Each structure stands twice: as structure tokens, then as C-alpha cells.
Chains A and B, each alone.
Chain A
Amino acid sequence: MLERVSLFSPLLPLSLLIIISKSASGFVWRALFVFLGVSFVCDYTAKVVGLEGINNMPVFHVYNVLVGAIICYYYYRVLQLQKMKVIIRWLFLFFLFVSLFEFFYRQGYLTFNTFAAWTINVLTIFFTLLWFYQVFFSEEQMKLTKLPEFWVNVGFFFYFGSTMVLTLFSEMILYAGGNDELTMKLWPIQLVTNILFNLIILRAVWALKRA
């Protein structure tokens, strides 16, 4: 049940995005639409492929690269700090290199892409912290809760922060001699995180509608 709710949870903000498409078709709208669309399609594909008994890890590899690209582009546009655009470009190239290296050599495409997932988690948290820093020291006074970017940032910070810690615990369990079956017991937390993330994004879309 929880798995189904989590799988279909992106449809909620996605539907609202489609409803408000006429009035709020700016950059944030496009970024969220692509992000949620990619998330849903990849999760659904992975689920269907998994039910067919086929290894669905390649889907997660592809998903990770696409999400990484969207996030890097989003912060490339949103962060106005000096020299940040150049740094983001280099960080994205680094992430791409890690993803491809893991896909083809290190673990292979049939194993979970631990290192690439970790990289994008760390990068996203780094970007969200930079965004908070930028807003905190900005001369402009803003009502935070009315900013769609604020909710997007909160969502990313919460989701990728939690995912990073959960991935770390999974690795620790495996390292301590546990197996994949045991690590799957952490999965409900990941599902709850995903549902909460999509609810926060729904709030971002609502803020976008009101903006």
C-alpha cells in the first residue's frame, strides 16, 4: 500500500502543474514538470520491469543521471552567487563522469549505483545550502513561504538529506554482514520520505500558482 502511494505521489503535484500551466509557465514550472515527470516515469518503469522479474537497476542509473542534470540546471539558473555557474558546470561534469564510470566499470549497470547516488545527494544538499545562504544574505526582503523556490529547496534538502543517510545506513548494514533483504527493511522510511517530498513539492506548486 505504502509503495503504491509513494509510486503515484508525484502525480499529485504533476496534476496541479498541468492545471496551472496557463498561468504559471515559467522556468520553475518547467523544471518541476520535467523533474516530476522523469521521477514518475522512471519509478513506474522500474516497478513494471521489477515485477517482470528483470533487473531494474539500469533504470535507476538512467534516472540518477537525468535527475542530476535537472537539479544542476535548476541551481545553475537559481543561484546568483559569484562564480557559482562555472562551479556548477564542473560539478555536473564530475557527477556525469562518476555516473558513467559506475555504470560501465566500477559496479556495472546491474548493481545499485551507490557512489553516483551519493554524489548527487551531496551535490544537491550543497546547492540547497548555498540557496539558503544566498537568500539569507540577500538585500531583498522576501516572504519565504510564498516563494515556490523556497519549497522546492526545502523538498530537495529534506529528500536528498534523508536519502543520503538511508543509503549510508544500507551500506553500513551490508558492511556489517547483513544482506539485501535486511536493507530492504529500511525501504518504508524511503517511501515515507518520497511521499513527504512530493507533498512539499505540491506546496511549491501551490505557491507557484499563487505567485
Chain B
Amino acid sequence: MGTETGIVLAVIAGTLVMVLLVMAIVVFVVLYKRRTIEREAQYQMVVKKKELEVLNAAIETQESEREKFSRDLHDEIGPLMSALKLNMTRHQAVIKKGGVIGKEDLQQQRDIVDHIVQSVRGVAHGLSPRFVKEFGLLPALEEYMKELTDLEVTFHCTTEMDRRFGKDIELNVYRIVLELIQNIRKHAKPSELELSIEEDRQNIRFCLTHNGAGLSNAEYAEFLKTAKGIGLESVRARAASINAILDYQKGTPSTITLTLESTNGE
């Protein structure tokens, strides 16, 4: 084989090598695109899974709230209505016999009606907190704290009372705080309760401080796994839906802090 033939072969080989290099780049681009598509599909799956989780959490929250209202109606208003009915039947019998209903009896009946009105108001308030929608979250919380007459309550707020958040944020925070207060009253049995609201550049914190039996983060996590109907799951789901963080600190006093970004939902 002559040198000239060798050169021709070298030229062909050189061209082939160049073609191969170009092919290598094309193969890389194709593989990269395929990988990008796979990643996109994985990402979409994660997003869908997350959406499903949020949806499930919303359904769970709705179910637990329905249970709660059903329990409120059954446990609070039901017995009062029964008592009222019993009283009226008794009075009817007295009147039939030509007797007279005393002032005390009527007062007792009135007290029962007052209780019913109060309970209905409470349930209605829980179903649709109009006060929050009309006047905002902070005045609504302050108003709610004033209603807790069986405790020594303190309300402390460093931010403007007319500060408004997004509709979802206000409703969710309101329900979370109410649920937490109810839990504290029911399980921690405190004599003092303080709600303080503090805002800085990054965050706004809703801190509940009480002198009852507190809960730590670990205990809260354990309760979440085992507790039934306490409403902790709905609190967790609501907090997650507004990207808020819950922190439980056990001590004297104990605290529960709900922290969310200041710009959240504005």
C-alpha cells in the first residue's frame, strides 16, 4: 500500500472521526432531552401527589369539623332543648290542673333559653366567622378572647389591629387559634391564658401561653398519630395549607406558637 493510498485512507478516517464526534454530540443532546422529559414527568407526579394530599387533608378537615358541629349540637343544644321541653310539659300540666307558674320557674326557663341562644351563637360563629370577614382576624381574635369569661385572659398585639391578611389566611388562622384554645381549655385546664400577636419583617407569630398542662413537639407528634377527634389533625392540615409552622413548648408556662410569613396571603 503506497503512502498516497495511506493519505486517502487517513482523510476518509479523519472525516469519519469528525462525523463520529458530531454524532456523539447529537446522541448526548437526545439523551439529555429524554432525561429532561423523564424528570418533568416525575416532577408532575410529585405535584399531583402533593395536590392529592392537600385535597385529602381538606376533606379530612371538613369531616372532622362536621363531626365537631354535630357533637356541639348533640351535646350542648340537644340537652338544653330537652330540658326546655321537659319544663314546658311540666308547666302545661300545672296550667291544666289550674295551677299557676311561679316567677322562679319562668326565670329558670328563660335561663335555659339564654343558654340555647348562647350555644347557637357559638355554633354559628364556628360555622361561619362573619366577624373575621367583616372586621379582620385580629379584632375577631380579641373579641373571642373577651368571651372566655371562665379564664383570666390577656390579649396582646404589637401589630396594627386593622391589619388584613388574605381571606384564606385569616379564616385558617382564626380556626387554628380557636381549636387550640378549645384544646387547651379542655385538656390543659389552665386558669390563665394569653394570646400575643407579634409581627416583624419576616414573620407574624400567634403565641398562646397558658399555665395548664402543656404539650411538647414530640408529644404533639405522638398525639397526631394516636389521638381521635381532638382536632389536632385538622389544626395540622390547616397550618400546612397556609405554610405556617406550629411549635409546642412544654413548661411553666407552656406555649403554642403559630408562625407564618408576614407576606403570606397578602
State the A residues within 8 Å of B (CB).
132, 135-136, 141, 144-145, 154, 157-158, 161-162, 165-166, 169, 172-173, 176-178, 182, 185-186, 189, 193
Contacts and interface: CB of A to CB of B under 8 A. Distances in A.
Given A158-B21, A162-B21, A169 B13 contact: yes
Interface in B26-42: 28-29, 31-33, 35-36, 39-40
Interface stretch (B2-10, B73-81, B234-242, B257-265): B2-10
A193 B6 CA distance: 21
Contacts of A145: 29
Interface string B152-195: 00000000000000000000000000000000000000000000
Interface of B: 3-4, 6-7, 10-11, 13-15, 17-18, 21-22, 24-25, 28-29, 31-33, 35-36, 39-40
Contact of A176 (B3, B15, B33): B3
A172 B31 contact: no
A210 B18 CA distance: 28
A144 B21 contact: no
Nearest to B9: A169
Given A132-B28, A161-B21, A178 B3 contact: yes
B7 A185 contact: yes
B169 to A, nearest CB: 31
A158 B18 contact: yes
A79 B11 CA distance: 34
Ranked 7 nearest A-B pairs via Cβ? A169-B10, A165-B17, A161-B21, A178-B3, A189-B14, A162-B18, A185-B7
A172 B13 CA distance: 13
A166 B3 contact: no
Contacts of A158: 18, 21-22, 25
Given A145-B29, A162-B17, A186-B11, 4 more contacts: A132-B28, A165-B17, A169-B10, A173-B7
Contacts of A173: 3, 6-7, 10
Contacts of A157: 21, 24-25
A166 B14 contact: yes
Contacts of B4: 182
A66 B10 CA distance: 29
Given A144-B29, A157-B21, A162-B18, A136 B3 contact: no
B41 to A, nearest CB: 12
Contacts of A189: 11, 14-15, 18
A158 B24 CA distance: 10
B226 to A, nearest CB: 38
17 contacts: A132-B28, A136-B28, A141-B36, A141-B39, A154-B25, A158-B18, A158-B22, A161-B21, A165-B13, A165-B14, A169-B10, A169-B13, A172-B10, A177-B3, A182-B3, A186-B10, A189-B11
Nearest to B39: A141
A144 B35 CA distance: 12
A133 B48 CA distance: 30
A158 B22 CA distance: 7
A151 to B, nearest CB: 10
